[in-house]
């Protein structure tokens, strides 16, 4: 509940920002390429999510619009078909898309028309990455080295493995197993587009270079392979807080050790 | 030479009868307000005793005054860095228990009590909480040595004595006490002024009165810690600190401060002194044993033409210089060297001086007769009940010689006057005694006169304050010309 609320707030802020921008003419092909193609193909088989060829025949248009706009809330509300799909595809979340009804319909038309396959090109597989690539990717991820175009470091929002102070960022998804979640190519496409609701705005004109894309992927591959689960700091924070207070009180006691601890005259009038 | 004028005071302890009239006069004029009930800008303590607030002289406890660091001096409990560190919680403050919880009585109980077997009584009511309370401390709880083991034996000044001397003090033959009335010393190097983070405390240019600007005070209470005499008080109702104002509104109109005016024993003297402000730093940071003499040297001779010239050049009015020439304080402190500052080791250069008391001699037991008077009523200083060391710890930074000199002078004058008026003492002996303390007959008579029979105008030589000139430095007075008279104090409200 809390997360959804936070997310909704984020969404509202983002949609406000978006509404400020001059609306370009809607291009279904480009939008599909940008927002959908990381996970879906049209007649190209299952990528991460299902093949969308003939999707309009399988589901009603109304259902599709609702699902695309917010798959999460449909699953939460217990729509049987949505839940079935969710389970079928290894319970992978589909990000909510900020698209109006008419825009979704335009994309559905584009899919129904067979779509023009945009060639995403070939990507070097992470399995071929050298240890140096992995190290560079690690530095980029942790923000030790800045991205060429100035995008913020991944760790600001994401956590991965046991990297980063107190388990890394907690604003967004944990990326330890993102490499297995997406396949190699899917991850490259996702990294090149970064078409997730918040990231889309943040990296609008700060996309990753091809090298950075590969290095990050290589790093995520190595993390996935190591399979070190992130340490859950959430519960630890309580103990850290209590411990911190004790330490702080100790320091205060030490710094002000010469303070007056007793009055000279006690409450019964006696003199010390 | 940077000559300034300072209204300063002498309290003659030999004359104090401990009646607290001064305290009451001050209370009625200044501190009879909510939040100020516990304040005694003027208080009278019995010595030996713990004083008010309890053990105020123990600076390891309250951390007041200055301490020598290298060549200079630093505040003991406040200052730039220590003040900043402690600004949100000042750790050396006296608490209400160290003073006392002020109280009143529910007088209506006397009238409203239902008829019963006993007399009705007025219940004690706390002036802080308004609830009934048990009284177990007050500002003069140890008055007249009451509760002696509890209070007198815990006097911080007894630390200078060894165990035997201390025990001897409390034997019945040696038991003694005297009173120590205290007000703000209006110091030349005030630690309260130095400690204030808000810059609310200042020393008035024309008369050296130390005041707290109530508009600027931000209740940091650093002054309460910094004043070694504990003469600034925090008003919990207004959230501002307050202190003795030396009744400046009275001084400005030529009247003596309320405590001095009301003094039954006429122990108080007030007058202006001229001093060299360039020497403040040097004197405040000199070696402990030199402080008494150096502070005395700071006070300048108002008859010296060079001093007069420099004073004039510094804007001191002729009438103030003339007043300084008649000042009883100048005579007692500088000319006759009889008045000494209280606890000069705090290095604040206090400008309230005390003439130490001549206390009774030791009693003795001859056969079954216990007697005080020996072959002569007044005996040598050494025979006095009070250890000189104890007085030295109060008034001369431990220098017993200084105290002995003053006491001998007082003794010599008594014998001389006894020889003159009662004629039961040989005049030759009296002259010999005067010679021993380097006093001529004229001075001896002058001291006698000022001590015993001086009228009001000789005890209080109040300089003209020239507020009309002082105010012109701050305000353009001509702009308010024509503002006086009938009119509205506030603009009428219009709807």
Which candidate from A255, A259, A263 shows the least CB-CB separation from B97? Answer: A263
Residue B424: per-residue pLDDT: 86
- pLDDT tens, position by position, B279-298: 999 999 999 999 999 999 99
Q: Do the chains contact at A264 and B98, CB–CB below 8 Å?
A: yes
Chain A interface, mutation test: which of B91, B92, B93, B143, most A Cβ atoms within 10 Å? Answer: B91
Percent of chain B beyond pLDDT 90?
78
Interface contacts (A, B; CB < 8 Å) = 48
Q: Which domain holds residue A54?
A: 26-112
Report which of residues A111 and B138 the model is more confident about: B138
Over its C-alpha atoms, chain A yields an Rg (Å, rounded) of 25
What distance in Å separates residue A255's CA from the closest CA in chain B? 9
What distance in Å separates residue B475's CA from the closest CA in chain A? 45
- Residue A4 lies inside a defined structural domain of this protein: no
Residue B373: per-residue pLDDT: 53
3-state secondary structure chain B: CCEEEEEEEEEEHHHCCCCCHHHHHHHHHHHCCCCCCCCCCCEEEEECCCCCCCCCCCHHHHCCCEEEECCEEEECCCCHHHHHHCCCCCCCCCCCCCCCCCEEEECCHHHHCCCCCCCCCCEEEECCCCCECCCCCCCCCCHHHCCHHHHHHHCHHHHHCCHHHHHHHCCCCCCCCEEEEECCCCCCCCHHHHHCCCCCEEECCCCCCEEECCCCCCCCCHHHHHCCCCCEEEECCCCEEEECCCCHHHHHCCCCCHHHHCCCCCCEEEEEEEEEHHHHHHHHCCCHHHHHHHHHHHECCCCCHHHHHHHHHCCCCHHHHHHHHCCHHHHHHHHCCCCEECCHHHCCCCCEEEECCCCCECCEEECCEEECCCCCCCCCHHHECCCHHHHHHHHCCCCHHHHHHHHHHHHHHHHHHHHHHHCCCCHHHHHHHHHHCCCCHHHHHHHHHHHHHCCHHHHEECCCCCHHHHHHHHCCHHHHCCCCCCCCCCCCCCC
Is the model's pLDDT at B132 over the cut of 80? yes
Chain-wide mean pLDDT for chain B? 91
Q: Do the chains contact at A271 and B54, CB–CB below 8 Å?
A: yes
Q: Do the chains contact at B53 and A264, CB–CB below 8 Å?
A: yes
Chain-wide mean pLDDT for chain A? 83
Residue A32: per-residue pLDDT: 81
What distance in Å separates residue B224's CA from the closest CA in chain A? 14
Is the model's pLDDT at B380 over the cut of 90? no
- State whether A94 and A152 are in the same domain: no
When pLDDT is averaged across residues B70-97 and rounded to a whole number, the result is 90
- pLDDT tens, position by position, A180-189: 888 787 888 8
A270 vs B contacts (CB less than 8 Å): 150
Is the model's pLDDT at B488 over the cut of 70? no
Q: Do the chains contact at A265 and B100, CB–CB below 8 Å?
A: yes
Domain boundary among A55, A82, A112: A112
Is the model's pLDDT at A194 over the cut of 50? yes
Report which of residues B315 and B487 the model is more confident about: B315
Residue A1: per-residue pLDDT: 53
Is the model's pLDDT at A66 over the cut of 80? yes
Domain boundaries, chain B: 1-75+141-476
The CATH code of the domain that includes A55 is 1.10.760.10
Give the fold, CATH level 3, of B1-75+141-476: Alpha-Beta Plaits (3.30.70)
- State whether A222 and A130 are in the same domain: yes
Is the model's pLDDT at B491 over the cut of 80? no
Residue B210: per-residue pLDDT: 97
Report which of residues B223 and A91 the model is more confident about: B223
Residue B352: per-residue pLDDT: 97
- pLDDT tens, position by position, A120-172: 667 788 888 889 999 999 999 999 999 999 999 999 999 888 888 777 888 88
- Residue A239 lies inside a defined structural domain of this protein: no
Which candidate from A260, A265, A272 shows the least CB-CB separation from B137? Answer: A265
When pLDDT is averaged across residues B160-171 and rounded to a whole number, the result is 88
Residue A22: per-residue pLDDT: 46
- pLDDT tens, position by position, A197-218: 788 888 988 888 988 999 999 9
- Residue A51 lies inside a defined structural domain of this protein: yes
Residue A75: per-residue pLDDT: 86
Q: Kindly list the residues of chain B whose beta carbon comes within 8 Å of any beta carbon in chain A.
A: 50, 53-55, 58, 61-62, 85-86, 89, 91-95, 97-98, 100, 136-137, 141, 150-151, 154
Domain boundary among A61, A89, A112: A112
B150 vs A contacts (CB less than 8 Å): 270-271
Is the model's pLDDT at B165 over the cut of 80? yes
A256 vs B contacts (CB less than 8 Å): 86, 89, 91
Chain A interface, mutation test: which of B77, B97, B149, B151, most A Cβ atoms within 10 Å? Answer: B97
Confidence (pTM): 0.75
- Residue A177 lies inside a defined structural domain of this protein: yes
Q: Kindly list the residues of chain A whose beta carbon comes within 8 Å of any beta carbon in chain B.
A: 255-256, 258-260, 263-272
- Residue A237 lies inside a defined structural domain of this protein: no
Is the model's pLDDT at A81 over the cut of 90? no
* ipTM over cut 0.85: no
Residue B377: per-residue pLDDT: 52
Domain count for chain A = 2
Domain boundary among A81, A112, A143: A112
- State whether A59 and A139 are in the same domain: no
What distance in Å separates residue B54's CA from the closest CA in chain A? 6
In the three-class reduction of DSSP (H, G, I as helix; E, B as strand; rest coil), residue A265 is classed as strand
- Residue A192 lies inside a defined structural domain of this protein: yes
- State whether A130 and A220 are in the same domain: yes
Which candidate from A260, A268, A270 shows the least CB-CB separation from B61? Answer: A260
Which candidate from B89, B92, B137 shows the least CB-CB separation from A269? Answer: B137
- pLDDT tens, position by position, A229-248: 777 777 778 888 999 999 99
What distance in Å separates residue A256's CA from the closest CA in chain B? 8
- State whether A86 and A162 are in the same domain: no
- Residue A10 lies inside a defined structural domain of this protein: no
Alpha-carbon distance of B476 to B108, in angstroms, equals: 53
- State whether A104 and A135 are in the same domain: no
What distance in Å separates residue A272's CA from the closest CA in chain B? 8
pLDDT band at A7 (very low <50, low <70, confident <90, very high): confident
């Amino acid at each position: 509940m809390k997360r959804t609320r936070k997310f909704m707030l984020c969404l509202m802020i983002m949609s406000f920002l978006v509404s400020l921008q001059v609306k370009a003419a809607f291009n279904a092909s480009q939008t599909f390429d940008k927002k959908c193609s990381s996970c879906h193909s049209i007649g190209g088989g299952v990528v991460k999510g299902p093949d969308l060829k003939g999707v309009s025949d399988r589901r009603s248009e109304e259902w599709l619009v609702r699902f695309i706009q917010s798959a999460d809330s449909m699953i939460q509300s217990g729509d049987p078909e949505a839940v079935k799909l969710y389970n079928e595809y290894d319970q992978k979340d589909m990000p909510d898309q900020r698209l109006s009804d008419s825009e979704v319909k335009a994309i559905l038309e584009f899919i129904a028309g067979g779509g023009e396959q945009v060639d995403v090109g070939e990507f070097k597989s992470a399995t071929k990455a050298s240890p140096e690539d992995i190290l560079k990717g690690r530095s980029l991820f942790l923000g030790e080295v800045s991205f060429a175009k100035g995008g913020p470091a991944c760790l600001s929002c994401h956590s991965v493995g046991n990297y980063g102070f107190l388990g890394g960022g907690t604003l967004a998804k944990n990326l330890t197993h993102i490499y297995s979640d997406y396949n190699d190519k899917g991850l490259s496409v996702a990294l090149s587009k970064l078409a997730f609701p918040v990231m889309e705005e943040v990296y609008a004109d700060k996309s990753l270079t091809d090298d950075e894309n590969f290095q990050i992927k290589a790093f995520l591959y190595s993390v996935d392979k190591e399979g070190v689960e992130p340490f859950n700091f959430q519960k630890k924070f309580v103990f850290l807080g209590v411990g911190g207070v004790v330490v702080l009180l100790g320091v205060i006691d030490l710094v002000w050790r010469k303070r007056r601890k007793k009055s000279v005259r006690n409450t019964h009038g006696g003199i010390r | 030479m940077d000559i300034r004028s300072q209204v300063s005071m002498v309290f003659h302890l030999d004359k104090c009868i401990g009646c607290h009239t001064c305290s009451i006069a001050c209370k009625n004029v200044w501190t009879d307000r909510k939040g100020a009930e516990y304040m005694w800008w003027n208080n009278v303590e019995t010595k030996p005793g713990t004083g008010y607030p309890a053990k105020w002289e123990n600076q390891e406890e309250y951390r007041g005054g200055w301490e020598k660091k290298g060549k200079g001096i630093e505040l003991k409990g406040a200052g730039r860095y220590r003040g900043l560190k402690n600004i949100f919680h000042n750790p050396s403050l006296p608490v209400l228990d160290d003073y006392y919880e002020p109280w009143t009585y529910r007088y209506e109980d006397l009238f409203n009590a239902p008829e019963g077997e006993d007399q009705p009584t007025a219940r004690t009511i706390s002036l802080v909480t308004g609830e009934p309370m048990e009284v177990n401390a007050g500002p003069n709880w140890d008055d007249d040595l009451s509760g002696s083991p509890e209070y007198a034996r815990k006097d911080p000044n007894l630390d200078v004595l060894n165990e035997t001397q201390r025990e001897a003090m409390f034997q019945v033959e040696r038991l003694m006490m005297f009173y120590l009335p205290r007000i703000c010393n209006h110091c030349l190097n005030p630690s309260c002024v130095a400690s204030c983070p808000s810059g609310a405390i200042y020393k008035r240019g024309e008369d050296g009165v130390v005041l707290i600007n109530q508009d600027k005070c931000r209740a940091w209470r650093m002054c309460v810690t910094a004043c070694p005499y504990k003469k600034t008080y925090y008003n919990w109702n207004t959230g501002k600190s307050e202190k003795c104002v030396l009744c400046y509104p009275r001084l400005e109109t030529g009247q003596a401060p309320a405590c001095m005016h009301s003094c039954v024993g006429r122990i108080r003297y007030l007058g202006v002194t001229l001093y060299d402000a360039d020497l403040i730093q040097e004197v405040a940071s000199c070696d402990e044993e030199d402080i008494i003499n150096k502070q005395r040297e700071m006070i300048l001779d108002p008859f010296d033409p060079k001093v007069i010239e420099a004073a004039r050049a510094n804007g001191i009015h002729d009438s103030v210089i003339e007043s300084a020439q008649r000042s009883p304080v100048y005579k007692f402190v500088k000319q006759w060297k009889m008045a000494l500052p209280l606890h000069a080791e705090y290095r604040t250069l206090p400008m309230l001086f005390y003439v130490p008391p001549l206390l009774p001699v030791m009693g003795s037991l001859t056969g079954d007769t216990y007697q005080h008077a020996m072959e002569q009523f007044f005996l040598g200083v050494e025979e006095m009940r009070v250890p000189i060391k104890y007085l030295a710890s109060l008034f001369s930074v431990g220098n017993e010689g200084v105290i002995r000199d003053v006491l001998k002078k007082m003794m010599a004058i008594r014998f001389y006057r006894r020889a003159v008026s009662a004629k039961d003492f040989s005049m030759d002996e009296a002259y010999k005694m005067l010679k021993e303390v380097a006093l001529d007959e004229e001075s001896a008579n002058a001291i006698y006169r000022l001590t015993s029979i001086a009228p009001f105008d000789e005890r209080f030589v109040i300089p003209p304050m020239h507020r009309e000139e002082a105010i012109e430095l701050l305000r353009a007075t001509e702009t308010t010309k024509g503002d006086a008279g009938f009119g509205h104090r506030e603009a009428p409200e219009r709807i």
